Amino acid sequence: MSQIRFTRSVSLSAADVAAHGLTSDRPRNHQNTRGVQLLRAGNVEEAVSVLRPLVMPPGCCWTRPDAPFLFRRNFATALLLAGHPSGCTQLLAEMRDEAHPRVQQIRAAIGKWEKTLSLLQWVNWKTGWIDPVNRPVTLDFLAGEFDDDASSPVTSKDNSTRSTLSTAL
Task: Convert the pLDDT of each residue in 85-96 to its tens digit.
Answer: 888 988 988 888
- Give the model's pLDDT for residue 124: 85
- Give the model's pLDDT for residue 11: 44
- Cβ contact 161:142 at 8 Å: yes
Positive or negative torsion for Cα 135, 32, 141, 96? positive
Q: CA 116, CA 107: separation in Å to the nearest integer?
A: 15
- Give the model's pLDDT for residue 148: 56
Positive or negative torsion for Cα 31, 73, 77, 100? negative
- Give the model's pLDDT for residue 79: 92
Q: Which of 42, 40, 71, 37 is nearest to 54 (CA)?
A: 71
- Give the model's pLDDT for residue 65: 85
Residue 136 to residues 79, 81, 113, 133, 165: CA-CA distances in angstroms?
A: 11, 7, 8, 8, 7
The segments of the chain whose pLDDT lies below 50 read 1-23, 149-169
Domain boundaries of the chain, sorted by first residue: 25-162
